[in-house]
Amino acid sequence: MATFEVEGKVFEVDGDGFLTDPNIWNDDVAKLFAKSDGIEELTDKHWAIVRIIRSNFEEKGNAPMIRTICQETGLKLREIYELFPLGPARGACKVAGLPKPDGCV
Amino acid sequence: MEKIDKEKREKAIDLLRSKSDSKLITHLNSCVRCGLCAGSCMYYITMKEAKYIPAKKIDLVSSIYRRYCTLAGKTVPALVNAKDLDESMAEEMIDSLYGSCTMCGRCVKHCSIGVDIPYIVKKGREMLATMDMVPKTLQATVDAAINTGNNMGIPTVEFVDTIKWMEEELIDEMQDDKARIPLDEIDKDIFYTLNPREPKFFPLSISAMAKVLYAAEASWTLSSKYYDVTNYGFFNANMAEATQIAKNLYDEIHKLRGKRLILGECGHGSRANRWDGPNYLKKAYDFDTITAVELIGGYIRDGKIKLDKSLNKELYTIHDPCNLVRNGGMLEELRFVVKSSVANFIEMNPFGNDNFCCGGGGGALAMSEYNDRRLKIGEIKADQIRKTGAKVVITPCHNCVDQLLQLNHTYKLGVQIKTISEVVADALIIIKTN
């Protein structure tokens, strides 16, 4: 099991750096993970994306479609890619504490 | 260490005992240990450890072959470097064959006698799959495809919702109700396929392709159930699963009576469907199978679409997906399409058939277990890109796109990564006929 250390805190993560136990996730974890990806501060737009990903995961057990993220947040596709340069999966889902989605992501 | 089930182990060894596969026997016995493959492999170049030399990786399989299938190996194994297929050997095989090879085939081009190294790697993976030893994350991707029809487990209703959304946007952009993204339509010329990461997270490549098909006035459809061009059974090497996934697509084309299967921008998916599919199903396909690159190339040549290169002004370069170029013959066609679409183009070094893998092939992108290695070997690709000075990297493979996105971030390249349909769509001159 890999670990990931940021600002003195240690998290258990998979090889791709996704949180092993999604249940230990909270806002502080999100901030730390975002920082390590080069996002110094999570703006309201970032949080809107993270919240919808998180609630979809808690309800359905997986990441939402990008369609749902756009619909629920009112953000444009390109804005989402700009807010999370690593993309919705490796960027946003990781900050939201989800396991890595399957497939070519 | 995982215990190997005896019966399954026998089945795995049986894969090497087959007398009917002359290619396998030849290639298992041909390596002359010249070492030329070492310098061709991203893993060895990066890590400089002997275990990453391609010849060393496939010798694991050959040593098992010698142990169980040759007289010398059966009687004096130590003398001929014949090895038991035990737990520690299996561990080594998992690490070398799943974890240290993208099956890119660059070593084959440099091999002094042309040993098909990825073929042996795949046979080794097949042995591991027979013993239920596929890395967990890779198996999860195959399971999703088997259980849901696509490798990301997207429910049909959510897929349809996304396609309708992209269609509305396209109709809006084109100001034409005919700018459609048809679903489940019968008797169309083109049955188009996607990588599930497009509808799930990156749908702009769907609307880009739809725009090209609209401009060409193509007769086409997507299936709402089996649209997935990937076949991760090609990577986990579980033949029954690879066959099932290929069969789902084959049956769906027949159901919708599509004339041509157009393989969306996916390297391994193109290879697995076009070349391996008929072998999995043991029958010739009764429909044409071509890639999106060739479809677009044909449109340009036949004057069905008109492009204005000056709309793509930045400096562009190509990353060659291994399974489309080195292993798929798409070298010239890819360049024809790119050079027809962009004003400024530069090759990376090396390029084409000798290009390096993105580092995420062979299922590596799906295997979290080996993430560190994937990003490490990717530095070779990052350096290639940086040296071109290009601002945009074009690659007709969504798997490569994802690896390049990560390399772009990790190595701070500051480039854009685009699929071929996105670049072509950006250069389109739309001529309204009504």
DSSP class per residue in B240-260? HHHHHHHHHHHHHHHHHT-SE
Q: Would you state the pLDDT for residue A78?
A: 93
> Is the pLDDT score of B279 beyond 80?
yes
Q: CB–CB of B372/B304 below 8 Å?
A: no
Look at residues B433, B382, B383, B388 and name the one whose alpha carbon lies nearest to residue B408.
B382
Rounded-to-integer distance, Cα B297 and Cα B424, Å:
10
- Domains in chain A, please, with CATH? 2-95 (1.10.10.370)
pTM: 0.96
Q: What mean pLDDT is predicted for residues A40-63?
A: 96
Among A62, A88, A100, beta carbon nearest to B201: A88
Q: Considering only CB atoms, which residues of chain A are within 8 Å of chain B?
A: 14-18, 37-38, 62-63, 65-68, 77, 85-90, 100-105
In chain B, which residues have their Cβ closer than 8 Å to the Cβ of A15? 367-372
**3-state SS of chain A?**
CEEEEECCEEEEECCCCCECCHHHCCHHHHHHHHHHCCCCCCCHHHHHHHHHHHHHHHHHCCCCCHHHHHHHHCCCHHHHHHHCCCHHHHHHHHHCCCCCCCCCC
Check A102 against B152: CB less than 8 A apart.
yes
Average confidence score pLDDT of chain B: 97
> Is the pLDDT score of B433 beyond 80?
no
Residue B299 binned pLDDT confidence (cut-offs 50, 70, 90): very high
Rounded-to-integer distance, Cα A57 and Cα B202, Å:
19
Decide: residue B395, CB within 10 A, 0-12 exposed, 13-18 middle, 19+ buried: buried
Q: Looking at the complex, report in whole angstroms how far the Cα of residue B413 sits from the nearest Cα belonging to chain A.
A: 12
pLDDT digits (tens, 9 = 90+) for B300-318: 999 999 999 999 999 999 9
- Domains in chain B, please, with CATH? 6-133 (1.10.1060), 138-299 (no CATH), 306-429 (3.40.50)
Residues 6+ apart with CB under 8 A from B147: B153
Check B162 against A101: CB less than 8 A apart.
no
Check A63 against B200: CB less than 8 A apart.
yes
Tell me whether 0.90 is exceeded by the ipTM: yes
Is residue A104 annotated as part of the catalytic site, yes or no? yes
Q: Would you state the pLDDT for residue B46?
A: 98
Judged by phi (left if over 0) then psi (alpha if -120 to 50, else beta), residue B105 lies in left
Q: Looking at the complex, report in whole angstroms how far the Cα of residue B415 sits from the nearest Cα belonging to chain A.
A: 12
pLDDT digits (tens, 9 = 90+) for B30-73: 999 999 999 999 999 999 999 999 999 999 999 999 999 999 99
Residue B1 binned pLDDT confidence (cut-offs 50, 70, 90): low
